[in-house]
Amino acid sequence: MKLYWMLAITRGMPSPNPALVEVFDLLRQRGYEVEIGIGDEAVLDPDHLRVEHDLYILKSHTSLWLSVASILHRQGALILNPYRSCLAVQDKIAAAHSLREAGVPSPPYWVTVNTRLLHTLLELHPLVIKPYIGGRGIGVQVIRHHHELSALPPPAQPMLVQEYIAGDELKIYVVGDEVFGLRKPDGVTRVATPVSAEIRSIALRCGHIFGLGLYGLDVIKSAQGPVVIDVNYFPSYKGIPGAARHVANYIENYARGDTLLGKDADAVAHGLLGASPAETWPPYATYPLAPLHDLMEQHESEWDA
């Protein structure tokens, strides 16, 4: 069986993800042909792209590989995670809406292309501002003061604006129905931590909403309970004991059609993305989300003085 990995890394990197390298080795030991596509080293002819592998593994979050995955998806390729599912979480605005629509506890949010219009919101609470397309924390700003907001450069893309939620942050990693937790007590070192039954249920619910099998969540343990602030597909799994074995097992089962997604990945992803909102999760915020223009005052320019 032939597997093709879509990666953004460059060959010769001094510190490749050890978990990923181990996954490659495990799959090869089990008899799989593993081909690795490096985005920085590829010149592709889309007109001649054909499905030539049994499974395409979309690890990269780059526009290049998402576009390639789109072409392969239309040709009926089996992709992990499903192409539509990856798109659903890549767009953070759409993902935030899906979480709240499904009743997953998540912060109130707004969207804008003009951060100078956020001063009235900042009067109510600190804000987290992040690009609607992005990852690894790049471009994420926690804003507590008006001078910080005024100092932001004009955004190059729409921005997702979330209410800042105070509490301890957990990194949650999911492989199928297995859920793992990490915390960074010093902001750098990854330490495995137990996952409560509540957080496990929320994590699996997120996978169901988006049609994902390999994914991660950022969760804040707030005074009101766990709050999901981000979802991403195929995270690094760094720091998770035995991560490579779990991921390799899931990939093998997926390729053979022995997982829910692997049986009919596209149909599952399409169906779950259109599922009715869950009634089991109380929304984090009990007040309606006001349109941004309703929160605006006529003299927002005074904050820039």
Domain(s) of CATH 3.40.50.20: residues in the chain? 2-90
Place of tokens 């992990």: 80
- Amino acid code (one letter) for 210: F
Question: According to the model, what pLDDT value does residue 15 have?
Answer: 58
Tokens describing residue 6: 């879509």
**SS3 of residue 85 by DSSP:** helix
Q: Which residues of the chain form CATH 3.30.1490.20?
A: 108-164+286-304
Rounded distance between C-alpha atoms, residue 94 and residue 97, angstroms: 5
Contacts 24+ apart (CB under 8 A), 275-282: 275/102, 275/208, 275/209, 277/101, 277/102, 277/103, 278/102, 278/103, 278/104, 278/205, 279/103, 280/103, 281/102, 281/103, 281/104, 281/105, 281/202, 281/205, 282/103, 282/105
pTM of the model: 0.84
- Cβ 211 vs Cβ 85: under 8 Å: yes
Q: Which residues pair with 219 in a beta bridge?
A: 170, 228
Select from 3.40.50.20, 1.20.140.70, 2.130.10.10, 3.40.50.720 the CATH code of 2-90. Answer: 3.40.50.20
Per-residue pLDDT of the chain (305 residues; tens, 9 = 90+): 999 999 976 555 555 688 999 999 999 999 999 999 987 777 888 888 999 999 999 999 988 999 999 999 999 999 999 999 999 999 999 999 999 999 999 999 999 999 999 999 999 999 999 998 877 777 899 999 999 999 999 998 999 999 999 999 999 999 999 999 999 888 788 899 999 999 999 999 999 999 999 999 999 999 999 999 999 999 999 999 999 999 999 999 999 998 766 555 555 555 544 443 333 333 333 333 344 444 433 333 333 33
Beta strands in the chain (DSSP E): 2-7, 33-38, 55-58, 79-80, 109-112, 127-131, 141-143, 159-163, 168-175, 178-183, 191-193, 214-222, 225-233
Which 3 state secondary structure label does DSSP give 168? strand
The two structure tokens encoding residue 246 = 């779990």
User: Under CATH, which architecture does the 168-273 domain have?
Assistant: 2-Layer Sandwich (3.30)
CATH entry 3.30.1490.20 includes domain 108-164+286-304 = yes
